[in-house]
């Protein structure tokens, strides 16, 4: 049976769910004035959409008036009791890739686009069973987000992305006052490993200047297969290739001795070693999931071939063609998205492209990606800041991704030198090891065994207890108790200690 490409990938994926224990009181003062602005953004129904019990909104928020920059968002509220559930902001990476294309339509969102792009069906693992989901296309130039100053597409980088995204969030909450004071989590993957912590830092700076009642109640962040630190990411990536037998001993040694992983732009010698590894040694594999069969793209060529051309390593080899990059998303479903979101009736229903953007909607913007102006060398200093500021930090990693692999993340995180609270332990799904977790002071790291670059998929099922062992030392018993406690947090929420809960569950269906 030909299983569709997306399902193949999904079968490997795991779930991360955020459950918040503190109930939120909806503020009452705001209901009226906002109602009109809000109502204008209300999505009645999308073409081909099944009936759903939750509300959706989408539209633009202007983030820079003089330039004419506006960011597009899509809010899908929680299935039930949205006013008591947190706001989860989801960002995709690239840079230049769309959260509507990936996060909403392939990963955590409530709908999937069907093969003919004529309709939608429900994603039964959508995160909006647990939270209100805000998909933001950022920066301007991504998806429906645009700038009337065309030069903006040529000098945007990390800095503007973070600044504009903060302005967006503040103004968006003016439009949706019932979300003011709501607990907020920022989530994303890949290059959003930059966006998410950078936006968190921006929010912390914003909050420090505001009276308490008008702060953004940021509680934590969660990133997956996240670009974190150029040097350690690059080293860990090459190490992963070698340890997973993707490259020869010789290429490994040469890469290690020739490349200066700290540099933004590598020497030609180093670049040609990378090219040799990818073109001569990797073979036709899906780098985003090295054990999955490559998916076919529209012309019948395999995705891995396309991916190899478009991979964007953290050190950015500029000679590569379309830097679709670290999106890592299933190219088969990307096509459906590009058909669906370019339909005029879909755009009308979404209140999108109201200013007649002079180019088509695409899942990733090559222009932005190629011209990316500034990128922070390391995000680790922001991790320190977030931890010091009491934010919950979750880092997860699908362990068969070779683009931002688990070794890259582990090398990077190790630099934080955090104290271990709960030592490395396996977590289980249906009596199988789903992955491994280590809980540090201020940060939880979790791997998802057999998951590729695109980890998250949601399935609210309780994680299983570890096996009951009898012959335990006191120390082991203590650890066991701590793990149990973490499990409890995962399962039902711990009002004192845990707010941010990870429940990673296999979703093979």
Ligand X SMILES: *[C@@H]1O[C@H](CO)[C@@H](O)[C@H](O)[C@H]1NC(C)=O
CA dist 476 and 481 (Å) reads 9
Report the site for ligand X in 313-332 (rule: CB under 6 A). none
Give me the catalytic one of 194, 315, 453, 501.
Answer: 453
Alpha helices in 342-473 (DSSP H): 344-350, 366-370, 380-388, 406-414
Q: Which of residues 4 and 279 has its CB atom nearest to ligand X in the complex?
A: 4
Q: Where are the beta strands (DSSP E) in 430-472?
A: 432-440, 443-448
| Other Cβ atoms closer than 10 A to 248 | 15
Alpha helices in 311-422 (DSSP H): 331-341, 344-350, 366-370, 380-388, 406-414
* Contact call for residues 86 and 184 (beta carbons, < 8 A): yes
Least separation in angstroms between residue 216's CB and ligand X is 22
CA dist 274 and 313 (Å) reads 10
| DSSP class per residue in 10-50 | HHH-B-------S--PPPSTTHHHHHHHHHHTB----TTPP
Q: Which of residues 135 and 500 has its CB atom nearest to ligand X in the complex?
A: 135
Give me the catalytic one of 58, 401, 402, 503.
Answer: 401
Least separation in angstroms between residue 242's CB and ligand X is 29
The strand pair at 132-137 and 184-189 is best described as: unpaired
48 lies in the binding site for ligand X (CB under 6 A): yes
Number of residues counted as binding ligand X (CB under 6 A): 27
Give me the catalytic one of 190, 397, 402, 506.
Answer: 190
Give me the residues paired with residue 435 across strands: 427
Give me the residues paired with residue 222 across strands: 187, 394
Per the annotation, the verdict on 401 as an active-site residue is yes
356 lies in the binding site for ligand X (CB under 6 A): yes
Report the site for ligand X in 374-393 (rule: CB under 6 A). 374
Interacting residue with ligand X among 349, 357, 380, 488 (CB under 6 A) = 357
Q: Which of residues 159 and 461 has its CB atom nearest to ligand X in the complex?
A: 159
Q: Which of residues 22 and 62 has its CB atom nearest to ligand X in the complex?
A: 62
Interacting residue with ligand X among 21, 27, 54, 159 (CB under 6 A) = 159
Please state the separation of Cα 76 from the chain's center in Å.
17
Report the site for ligand X in 134-153 (rule: CB under 6 A). 144, 148
Nearest to ligand X by Cβ — which residue?
Answer: 119
119 lies in the binding site for ligand X (CB under 6 A): yes
Q: Which of residues 130 and 142 has its CB atom nearest to ligand X in the complex?
A: 142
CA dist 331 and 302 (Å) reads 10
The pattern of x and - marking residues 261 through 300 that bind ligand X according to CB under 6 A reads -----------------------------------x---x
Burial of 102 (0-12, 13-18, 19+ CB in 10 A): buried
Least separation in angstroms between residue 413's CB and ligand X is 25
360 lies in the binding site for ligand X (CB under 6 A): yes
| DSSP class per residue in 96-115 | TB-TIIIIIIIISSSEEE-T
> Which span sits near ligand X by CB under 6 A: 74-82, 110-118, 439-447, 470-478?
110-118
Peptide bond into 214 cis (omega under 30): no
The pattern of x and - marking residues 67 through 106 that bind ligand X according to CB under 6 A reads -x-x------------------------------------
Task: Give the active site residues.
Answer: 190, 401, 453
- Residues in touch with ligand X (CB under 6 A): 2, 48, 62, 68, 70, 114-116, 118-119, 144, 148, 155, 157, 159-160, 296, 300, 347, 353, 355-357, 360-361, 373-374
């Amino acid at each position: 049976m030909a299983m569709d490409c997306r399902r193949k990938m999904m079968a490997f994926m795991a779930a991360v769910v955020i459950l918040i224990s503190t109930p939120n009181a909806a503020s009452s003062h705001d209901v009226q004035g906002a109602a009109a602005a809000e109502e204008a953004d209300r999505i009645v129904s999308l073409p081909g959409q099944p009936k759903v019990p939750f509300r959706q909104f989408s539209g633009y928020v202007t983030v820079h008036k003089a330039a004419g920059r506006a960011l597009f968002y899509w809010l899908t509220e929680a299935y039930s009791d949205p006013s008591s559930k947190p706001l989860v902001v989801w960002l995709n990476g690239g840079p230049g890739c769309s959260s509507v294309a990936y996060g909403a339509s392939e990963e955590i969102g409530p709908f999937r686009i069907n093969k003919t792009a004529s309709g939608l069906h429900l994603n039964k693992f959508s995160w909006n069973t647990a939270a209100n989901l805000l998909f933001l296309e950022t920066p301007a130039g991504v998806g429906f987000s645009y700038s009337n100053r065309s030069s903006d597409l040529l000098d945007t980088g990390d800095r503007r992305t973070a600044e504009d995204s903060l302005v967006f969030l503040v103004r968006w909450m003016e439009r949706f006052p019932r979300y003011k004071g709501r607990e907020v989590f920022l989530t994303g993957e890949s290059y959003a490993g930059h966006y998410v912590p950078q936006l968190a830092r921006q929010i912390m700076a914003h909050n420090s200047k505001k009276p308490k009642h008008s702060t953004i109640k940021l509680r934590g962040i969660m990133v997956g297969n996240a670009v974190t630190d150029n040097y350690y990411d690059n080293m860990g990536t090459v190490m992963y290739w070698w340890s997973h037998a993707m490259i020869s001993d010789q290429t490994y040694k040469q890469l290690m001795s020739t490349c200066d992983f700290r540099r933004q732009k590598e020497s030609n010698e180093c670049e040609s070693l990378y090219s040799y590894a990818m073109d001569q040694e990797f073979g036709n594999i899906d780098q985003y999931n090295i054990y999955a069969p490559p998916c076919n793209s529209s012309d019948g060529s395999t995705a891995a071939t396309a991916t190899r051309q478009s991979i964007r390593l953290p050190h950015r080899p500029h000679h590569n063609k379309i830097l679709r990059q670290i999106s890592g998303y299933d190219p088969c479903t990307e096509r459906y998205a590009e058909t669906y979101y370019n339909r005029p009736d879909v755009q009308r229903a979404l209140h999108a492209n109201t200013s007649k953007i002079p180019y088509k909607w695409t899942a990733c913007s090559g222009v932005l990606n190629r011209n990316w102006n500034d990128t922070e060398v390391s995000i680790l200093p922001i991790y320190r800041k977030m931890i010091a500021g009491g934010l919950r930090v979750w880092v997860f990693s699908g362990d068969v991704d070779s683009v931002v692999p688990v070794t890259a993340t582990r090398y990077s995180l190790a630099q934080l030198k955090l104290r271990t609270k709960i030592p490395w332990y396996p977590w289980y799904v249906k009596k199988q090891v789903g992955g491994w977790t280590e809980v540090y002071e201020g940060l939880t790291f979790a791997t998802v065994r057999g998951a590729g670059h695109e980890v998250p998929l949601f399935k609210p099922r309780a994680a299983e207890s570890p096996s009951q062992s009898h012959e335990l030392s006191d120390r082991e018993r203590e650890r066991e108790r701590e793990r149990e406690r973490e499990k409890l947090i995962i399962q039902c929420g711990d009002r004192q200690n845990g707010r941010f809960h990870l429940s990673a569950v296999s979703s093979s269906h």
